[in-house]
Structure 1
Amino acid sequence: MSKVLYVELINEKDSIKKQVKLPLISGITWGDFKLTDSLSEGNYRIRAYTNYMRNFGTEFFFDKTIKIGNSWANKVFTKTDYTFTKENSTDKVVANIHFEDKNGVAYKENEVNYDVQLDYKSVAKGKTKTSLSGDAVINFTSSQLLANKSGRIVATLTLDNKQKVVKTIPITSTSNDVDVQFLPEGGSLIENLPQKIAVKSVNSTGRGEDIKGAIVDETGTEITSFETTYLGMGSFVFNSQPGKNYTVKIKFKDGSSKDYKLPYAQKTGYTLAVNNLDTAKVAVKIMASESLVNGSELKVVAQQYGNVFYVSKAKMDKQVLMASIPKKNLPIGVVQFTLFSATNQPVAERLVFINNTVDLINVNLNTSAVSTARKGKSTFSFEATNQNKPVLSSFSVAVTNATKVTPDEDNETNILSSLLLTSDLTGYIEKPNHYFQNNDLKTMKELDNLLLTQGWSRFLWRNIAAGNGPAITYKHENSIPISGTVKKGGKPVPGGKVMLMATKGSFFILDTVTNADGKFVFDNLTFPDSTKFVVQARTKTERKFVDISLDVVPNQIVTKNKNSGDIEVNVNNSLMKYIKESDNYFNEMTRLGLLERTIKLEEVTITEKKNPAKNSANLNGAGRADYIMTADDLTTCITLSQCLQGRLPGVIFRGNTPYLMRSQDTPMQIILDGMRVEADFLDNIIPSDVESIELLKTIGNTAIYGSQGGGGVLVITTKRGGGSASYNHYAPGVVTLNPKGFSVSREFYAPKYDGEVSNNRADLRTTIYWNPQVVAENDGKGKFEFFNADEPGQYRVVMEGIDAFGHLARKVYTYDVK
């Protein structure tokens, strides 16, 4: 099992803003992102994965779109409305952007520069002014040549004080088009066999849109009608007849209509129908065309994550075969039913969701010590059991004031919806928690329609049968390794001595030897982020002129946001109630020194001489030297000593070793990218790799280096590359690197009011309590406590957890603070 988790915060430009690396212990970890008040509002994504998960593609990463609003440090708020028209094959869009301040006062007659970008291409640029009501109108078109009809408007508003404020406004669509798909149960439509056909209707923003429809034959006779019931999904039963052509006439909510063709029906084949609406059993029905009723043996397999839970064999000696499977024999979550022919070829598939609650942890919450008073102490004790037996389990607990932070319960992403449903389906799942809110017949039908319409790609049987699994490029990570290869003259150095030294963030020294291929590895390393290392290598005869190549795992690429339906055009407006409520809390926290605030200065123009050694590790400060040479001075020589001879004032060379003229018995100290190296090391450095050389010779500049600086110091800084490698390969035998270490999680701040001293300070928290590690011990018992805030409302407690066997738990409890 992987023991390292990567979690990323990704902005609307599909760029990683923050990344944390977290250690997994028994599959559990926790962490946080620190968001500054200068972070712009927008639709951000939280993406999480392990290195091993990268072998199977990004579809099954955790990827959640969240809205981040900004009121506290924000001067300009926007609200955008789009209207769409179509002219021939061109979509015409009118964007009306309203600009106002936090108090709702419009920005009147202010200049707006805009750039409209679709599919990463600029399609319109221009300049306009806001009206007296604060509105700016932007017109643009979208042609069919653009594969992606989403993008952004980058609008720059010039304020009265000439300050420019840039706002990025999402474009989720450029038309009102609706896509309708028809998906036969089992996979294929077969003539003369009655089948359920699922319908999925999605508008141009990616959200489901309900429709009505009728199926007519070539004579115009209506065969059947249907309508979708939830988020554009529904189903109907249909029997396709030979020689008939069928048209589906669809009516949309705006009154328009459009004709579609049903999928082509095969002449012969098998169908697989599954009825999952009975709470106790799953009914499976296999139908075959008359020509296939020949006694051949068929097989039905039910599996989850490659684990088989049901296999049934039957001879196709009649046109319809039935089977009943008790749900108690199937696991909770998505189960795949596959029908195999006599030659073991998959001929039909069907997904069902099994709500087997016996696989869940039952949380019995004791609320007798919960306080309903402001600043009162609330204590919760609980007992976690599975099948009436106590379980050792770990819980995360979050408490919010739901009166201020209104939950969108249907659209919540939680431990049940993620691990049991969306992680096993590809594409965008709209309102995933809706299917866990109720267990009634209506919700069961809606969930079944989702599984009838949502694509499946976890397992491809033809690949499994052929033994073609995914190529395993990325290994399980049990720790943070540092590895590489040592070579001399292009050939591996076996038995070479390699030393690893941590120089910043923590301190330790390790050594190892290379194998027959010159490879080495330092494994089982655990260190915090921002730790810097030096790797030094020698041959087994102590020769140091070797090359070190470190193994670098390429970063995971950022794919486009698959959750297009969750993108909110007007983020601040949708969160306005919450972020305005939060302003008072932020101000109070800042006053108490518990929150940092960014001070944005007015724009000024500063003229300064460029620092020629800005990346230097000079202990006096970058550029504070008696003399500086730059890369431009080092272009006409082969060796570095040749470049420097006669050009450094007060310095002479004996061979390739530099000395100050005033202390010719002591060679100069060489500092290479912050690390001391021998004085005769100079010509191992390639001149074209050098960014700057600083000469320190006066007592004021050498004193900070102590006795080692008595003969003078040369501070050499190499050029910083722009590649993905996190190390500097500046000279044979030595490399420095700064790998990504583990992030240190912060403790959630919550005040305590049980002291004797009265506390009259206002407590305006909206998130009352968060604890990612509340443990139920072996007896299944656990406890957590906190103090209510100073404001009334309905407080919402959400517990989510897991035990060592993978059983999941979720508990929601609300109480009123008066």
Structure 2
Amino acid sequence: MKLSTSLFLSYILLSFCSPVFAQRDSISLNTIVEKANQLTQSHPIEKVYLHLDKPYYATGDTIWYKAYLTFGLHQPSELSKIVYVDIINSRDQLIASQMLSVKEGTAIGSIALTQPQFVQDSYHIRAYTKWMMNFDKAYYFNKTVVVGNAINKPVNTAIILKRTANSNNAGVNTIITYKDSDGNPLADKKVQWTITDNGEDLAKGKASTDAQGKLFINFPNTASTDLSSAVLNTVLDAGNHKEYSNSYPLKSVALPTDVQFFPEGGNFINGLRSKIAVKAVQPNGLGIDFTAVISDNTGATVTTCNSQHRGMGLFVLTPEAGKTYKAEVNFKDGTKDIYELPVAQTSGIIITAGTPDTANVYIKIAANESYLKSHLNKTYYLVAKTGQVICYAAKIKLTNPDFSAAIPANKFPTGIAQLTLMTSFGQPLSERLVFINRPDKLNLSVITDKKVYSNRKKVTMSVNAKNAVAGVSDLSVAVINETKVPVDEDAETTILSNMLLTSDIKGYVESPNYYFKGSSDKTASDLDLLMLTQGYRRFTYTEMLKNKIPQVNYFPEQGIELSGILRTSNGLPVKGGTVTLQIPSKYYTTRATTDAEGRFRFPGLVFADSAKIVISAKGNYNAKNMMVTVDGSSYPAMFPNPDEPDEQLNIDTKLSDYLVNSKKIYESSRQLQEVVIKAKAITKPGPSYRDHSALTGLSMPDHQISGDRFKGCNIMLQCLQGTLPGVTYDANTAQFYLSRSFNSGGRIPMALYVSGMPVDVGYLNSLNSADLASIEVFTRDELGMVNRAGQTNGVLAINMKVAPKGTKVSLQDLEELIPQAHTAKITPMGYTIPKTFYSPKYTPTGNGGAFGPDLRTTIYWNPRVNTEAGKATFDFFTADGKGSYRTVVEGIDKDGRIGRVVYRFKVE
């Protein structure tokens, strides 16, 4: 596959620091550059960034967002025309998924946080394209979004989890504080608690709250107990037959504090002065401050080190032959431990680098005496790249123990540059990341007609993109009442922090916007320290030179396409057959002809999500003996949230002010007051496994999940992954297994039934979540009537809703019950239709359509602000809330210049 990416090549700059030598190199420098160019053309990397209107939300809110899709050096992508956005809860369960149409590298969308689909939790939003599925999942856009709930919530909680460890005991101390909606402690209340992992109990107990509403729970956490997927579940008995349940993931206390050491250049070599970066990470994934004393194997103190920023620190050490080193680390929380430093190599060479000014990147290549003797006059390559683009390459001859040079910074765009020293055989020896900061952004600015406004007044705002190519840029604007929505600016995910930093390095980055919020020597020093502790997220030169590049399994989507195979009843492909596709809701019909292998395809389709599609071969001769099979779609498996440290356990207290306002909005808009119904309704049992003779040999289900849990689910197979208690889904085999059996090495899949009919896993994606009644999980089949027949272990029974008895059944309903092989009726994932943000327009004589108080927190959202001649102007109205209003403008131009600006004005 070769994709047109010629625009990348204009950035290739080769600069040779020394003349070409006469000796024949094993791999020429030009070969390395050419292979890198080929990789850029055949495997360009796309990035997705989502600009959200707010940093957090409440149930009942809407998340407004704009997707920016780029490739190369941040140019709007010309590859994919579809972006997917998944919303996943803290238990790694898919809650909703959206498909967006991309135009000129952008798309807009919204997520309505309705109940009961969205409950109070920390959600993981990920965005990607099908093309991105060919590469490391770490390239996806990932963001943690906290959602609180203030509606009909009489009990608020706050939890403290602390891992304890000593020579005799290891455990977790837990304190949960219960308060009512007015902030009064719930004293002397009984609480039942259990710790579960994949549906199995690890520990359980009972306790009562004290006079302050506090509940104390202590449980062991030994090395043999893995709490990474465990959950603490509590049920508080509030009296009057009212119980309130809460769940708390225990991932934050699953592991001890971790300390890692990172020698500059990647190697710790005897006789070479080395910077050693230190990173200390708490069990919750966040950095922790420390002091450290470094000593050698004789017990002598060599140096000391203090944390500089977010658990990161630095010290300098020249290792000596025959000596080893250790660090005694004292943490801010009072704990301490001893860690061994990496063992120094006896012989080696490293590259070090720095950017003390913005004009140059200063590099130094140093070899110790042993290495110099054995490699004198050998040729080495220095290659520097940003993203996939090689911006600098040089050939160097090793004649001295060290070599220094300055590389002009203008050879690089803003972002991370990877400097790699390699042999003439192409073997990487040492690597250093540096961050280049240049004046090549959009340079956005904002002004308003006033600096201070009163309630419900018109604001006229102008945006200027000074560096936009031809003055044209594509921007998004969010205005919030910052008094009601306080923002931790350091922790924000922005278009700058994502595209220039976190999307290019491995691992979690704490408070990424800190490095872009302001410019100072401290910020630059902290950013360079981050470069020393993170790895680069790109193909390695070793893989590239050996042609070990990712296999392309998914091609860039140019739109929705449905495809499949037409066969005869005996399995032979039908060549030249006619297949018809209908979208009844759109009165749309099209036809396709099958090829020699019986395949058909319908490209360029446009339909909304949940649309019903009919694909039929009825018009063919002998159609009754034909079968239509529609290809399934591939979606990425669920994986843990890469930004898990951003998840919040104490949402009630963290969002307290915001939730108070959310409750006021709900109460002011509520039309009906609560009505108490004393008579008991007569309910009939819903569909179950008992309705089907194939499953009547089963006993009671071990777990039952209501179909309402999957309301709005577009991709049933994804929504089931991680949702079913005691069940594990393995993406490699595409099968469900009992967790107990799977974790102990068993690989016998579960039986899968839909309304009493045995089906394969792929069938699940044809189900409409609106028709799902319940799912029953059976971990045992005592009589063996199901598992013996299919050589399975455990049963998943999926029950679909049925029409009430006496309901008139149409011919179409009968056809649905008895499907014809020559016709496929499917509900594939379609485009999510973007909603329009409502912004009231107040006049001296009208209320702008707003009834009652205007308590909005998002004052204005506009994802389609386009500058002409560098400028754009728009207007909106303030709400009733007073205080500081915060404006964020982000965007991009066609050449990949990105920009962001924050602007504030007051409402009094």
Fold match by TM threshold 0.5: yes
Q: Give the C-alpha shift of residue 86 in structure 1.
A: 2.6
Match of 1:137 in 2: 216
Q: Which residue of 2 aligns with 1:447?
A: 527
Q: Post-superposition shift, 1:370?
A: 5.7
Counterpart-to-counterpart distance in 1, 2:692 and 2:352:
73
Other-structure match for 2:160: 81
CA RMSD after TM alignment = 3.1
Query: Alpha-carbon deviations, 1:152-204, whole Å to 9, x = none?
Result: 21112233231332211233433793211111111111111111111111111
Find 1:762's aligned residue among 829, 848, 853: 853
Structure 1 residues 138-157: aligned runs within 5 Å: 138-149=217-228, 151-157=230-236
Q: 1:785 aligns with which of 837, 856, 875?
A: 875
Matches within 5 A, 1:29-428: 29-38=107-116, 39-88=118-167, 90-117=169-196, 122-149=201-228, 151-174=230-253, 177-293=256-372, 294-358=376-440, 360-369=441-450, 372-386=453-467, 390-428=470-508
- Asked whether 1:476 is paired with 2:552, we answer no
Q: Tell me the distance in 2 between the aligned counterparts of 1:70 and 1:598.
A: 18
CA distance in 1, matches of 2:369, 2:685: 88
State yes or no: 1:752 paired with 2:841: yes
Instruction: Give CA-to-partner distance per residue, 1:510-544, whole Å, 9 cap, x none.
Output: 10110011111000011111110111125854533
Residue 457 in 1 paired to residue 548 in 2? no
Q: 24, 34, 38: which is aligned to 2:102?
A: 24
Measured in 2, the distance between the counterparts of 1:600 and 1:401 equals 37
User: Which residue number in structure 2 is paired with residue 571 of structure 1?
Assistant: 651
- The alpha-carbon distance between structure 1 residues 328 and 216, as it changes in their structure 2 partners (threshold 3 A), is same
Q: 1:589 to 1:775 in 2, by over 3 A?
A: farther
Structure 2 stretches lacking a partner, 5+ long:
1-78, 697-766, 769-797
Does the C-alpha gap of structure 1 residues 52 and 633 become closer, same or farther in structure 2, counting only changes over 3 Å? Answer: closer
Check whether the contact 1:51–1:477 (CA below 8 A) recurs between aligned residues: yes
Q: Any idea what SS the aligned residue of 2:404 has?
A: strand
Change (3 A) 1:423 1:160: same
Letter in 2 for 1:587: E
Residues 15, 606 of structure 1: alpha-carbon distance in 2 compared, 3 angstrom cutoff: farther
Match of 2:664 in 1: 584
- Please say if residues 155 and 244 of structure 2, whose CA atoms lie closer than 8 Å, have aligned partners that are also in contact: yes
Query: What letter matches 1:399 in structure 2?
Result: V
For 1:804, give the aligned amino acid: K
The match for 2:814 is 715
Question: 603, 608, 612: which one pairs with 2:684?
Answer: 608
SS at match of 2:413: coil
Equivalent in the alignment of 2:710: none
Question: Is residue 564–residue 628 contact of structure 2 (8 Å, CA) maintained in 1?
Answer: yes
- For these two proteins, the number of residue pairs brought into alignment is 724
**Deviation digits for residues 752-777 of structure 1 (CA, Å, limit 9, x no counterpart):** 11253367842222211111111113
CA-to-aligned-CA distance 1:617-672 (integer Å, 9 cap, x gap): xxxxxxxxxxxxx865999xxxxxxxxxxxxxxxxxxxxxxxxxxxxxxxxxxxxx
Partner of 1:797 in structure 2? 887
Instruction: Answer with 530-539 or 750-759: which moved more.
Output: 750-759
Cα distance, 1:266 vs structure 2: 1.2
Q: Is the 8 A contact 2:688 2:799 kept in 1?
A: no
**2:252 counterpart SS class:** coil
Post-superposition shift, 1:64? 0.9
Find the aligned partners of 2:207 and 2:249 in 1 and give their Cα distance: 19
Change beyond 3 A, Cα 1:602–1:145? farther
- Does the 8 Å CA contact 1:91/1:174 hold for their aligned counterparts? no
1:559 paired to 2:559 = no
Structure 2 residue aligned with 1:520: 600
Distance in 2 (CA, whole Å) between partners of 1:800 and 1:207 is 28
Shift of 1:554: 2.9
User: Counterpart of 1:15?
Assistant: 93
Higher RCO, 1 vs 2 (CA within 8 Å, ≥6 residues apart): 2
Say if 1:692 and 1:808 are closer, same or farther in 2 by CA, change over 3 A. Answer: closer
Q: Give yes or no for contact 2:687–2:801 (8 Å, CA) kept in 1.
A: no
In the alignment, the residues of structure 1 paired with residue 404 and residue 847 of structure 2 have an alpha-carbon distance, to the nearest angstrom, of 72
Amino acid at match of 2:856: R
The equivalent of 1:646 in structure 2 is none
> 1:666 corresponds to which residue?
none
How far, CA to CA, are the matches of 1:610 and 1:168 in structure 2? 27
User: Which residue in the other structure is 1:622 paired with?
Assistant: none
Q: Percent identity?
A: 34
What one-letter code is carried by the residue in structure 1 that aligns with 2:325?
Y
Decide whether the 8 Å contact of 2:484 with 2:661 is kept in 1: yes
Other structure's SS at 1:449 match = helix
Amino acid at match of 1:263: P
Deviation at 1:147, TM superposition (A): 4.4
In structure 1, what is the Cα distance between the partners aligned to 2:175 and 2:804?
60
Letter in 1 for 2:863: P
Q: Which moved further from structure 2: 250-259 or 73-82?
A: 250-259
Change (3 A) 1:243 1:116: same
Q: Secondary structure at the match of 1:73?
A: coil
Secondary structure (helix, strand or coil) at the match of 1:242 reads coil
Displacement of 1:610 after TM fit? 5.5
* Aligned counterparts of 1:817 and 1:599: Cα–Cα separation in 2: 39
Match of 2:779 in 1: none
The residue matched to 1:478 in structure 2 has which SS? coil
Per the alignment, in what secondary structure is the counterpart of residue 31 of structure 1? strand
Deviation at 1:40, TM superposition (A): 2.3
Query: Do the aligned partners of 1:11 and 1:17 also contact (CA within 8 Å) in 2?
Result: yes
Alpha-carbon deviations, 1:704-761, whole Å to 9, x = none? Answer: x6xxx7xxx9825549xxxxxxxxxx43211110001011111112211125336784
**Structure 2 equivalent of residue 807 of structure 1:** 897
Alignment partner of 2:623: what SS? coil
Instruction: Report the 3-state secondary structure (helix = DSSP H, G, I; strand = E; otherwise coil) of the residue aligned with 1:585.
Output: helix
Find the residue that maps to 2:466 and give its secondary structure.
strand
Give the conservation status (yes or no) of the 8 Å contact 1:79–1:99. yes
Contact 1:227 1:234 in 2 (8 A): yes
8 A Cα contact 1:373 1:817, kept in partner: yes
**CA separation in 2, counterparts of 1:139 and 1:738?**
49
- Distance in 2 (CA, whole Å) between partners of 1:43 and 1:598 is 29
Question: After superposition, what is the alpha-carbon deviation per residue over 1:77-130, rounded to whole angstroms, capped at 9, x for unaligned?
Answer: 111123443354752222121222211123333332222135875321233333
Is contact 1:37-1:70 (8 Å) kept?
no
Say which SS state the counterpart of residue 645 (structure 2) adopts: helix
Alignment check: 8 A CA contact 1:89 1:143 kept? no
| Change over 3 Å in CA distance of 1:200–1:632 after alignment to 2 | closer
Shift of 1:22: 0.7
Provide the rounded CA distance (Å) in 1 between the counterparts of 2:553 and 2:179: 51
Task: State the distance in 1 between where 2:413 and 2:124 align.
Answer: 31
The runs of 5 or more residues in structure 1 that have no matched partner are: 615-629, 636-672, 675-688, 720-729
For normalisation by structure 2, the TM-score amounts to: 0.75
Cα offset, 1:56, TM superposition:
1.1
2:172 match: secondary structure: strand
Name the larger-Rg structure.
1
Q: CA–CA distance in 2 between the matches of 1:296 and 1:28? A: 49
Give the letter for the 1:167 counterpart.
N
